[in-house]
Amino acid sequence: MTQDKPLHNKTIIITGGSRGIGREIALKAAADGANIVIASKSDTAHEKLPGTIFSVAEEVEQAGGKALPVKVDVRDEQSIYAMVEKTVGTFGGIDALINNAGAIRLTGIEDTPIKRFDLMHAINERAVLLCTQAVLPHLKKSENGHIISMSPPISLRKHWLKPHIAYTVTKYGMSLLTMGMAEELREHNIAVNSLWPKTAIATAAVEYAIDAKILPMSRTPAIMADAAYEILTSKNLAMTGETLIDEDVLRAAGQTEFDQYKVDPNCDRLFPDLFVDLD
């Protein structure tokens, strides 16, 4: 590790790392010379969803990091453990896990097929526990272990519970896992946090699963990557057990300017993300 590049030679596993926020975190850490494991199902190009584990691996290498692209289904225990074994065999250890893979469907009870709920449960919350179990023996050996899950602060206000409770339950489940695992893993000096955007982020999930009209009122994934970097470089459990908001993390680090993250520089009203109350 060098003083100005604290993630140099650190090994970071990023699930769902083939595009969007996961890709942006990979490139941010790669600039420090980190070892990035791009763990995703996307090994071939999709006409609507750009990015594969191999294209991001190339970008990571170009940014100054080392890359290991691994096709992974976070629902499959064998797939996860094989990825961890390959990671340790390649880089010698694991320093951080980013639980970025996600599934979304913003529908009410009658319009949510149980198979879709099972999918969200498996990819959103079950995968957090499964991936943590798989990496834990190696994180315990890291001098500054971190787990970050992409999930929100828990709000029980009715307007978040009414419209899409099936999805909400799975995302809140991730946050509960964060709070519980943070306490359990504190004695091993492993920090566990959740990270969530204050505003909508311009990703495929917003474009195809929510509403493409929101994109001009969104921020780029870079703000989430910058916030994740602040968390990953924190030491001695300075942040753990928190459900953090990207802008709040950056403000606490001294940042005051956020216009550079706007998709549309002329947009005066950004769209708040799900589960974020501005009042």
> Which residues are catalytically annotated?
167
CA distances for 27 relative to 35, 137, 186, 226, 275, angstroms:
11, 26, 28, 10, 27
275 by Cβ neighbours in 10 Å (0-12 / 13-18 / 19+) ranks as buried
Q: Locate tokens 């010379």: which residue?
A: 33
Kindly report the number of other CB atoms within 10 A of residue 31's CB atom: 15
Q: Locate tokens 């990270």: which residue?
A: 195
> What element of type H or E holds 32?
none
Tokens of 262: 């706007």
The percent of the chain in helix, strand and coil, each rounded to the nearest 5, is: 45, 15, 40
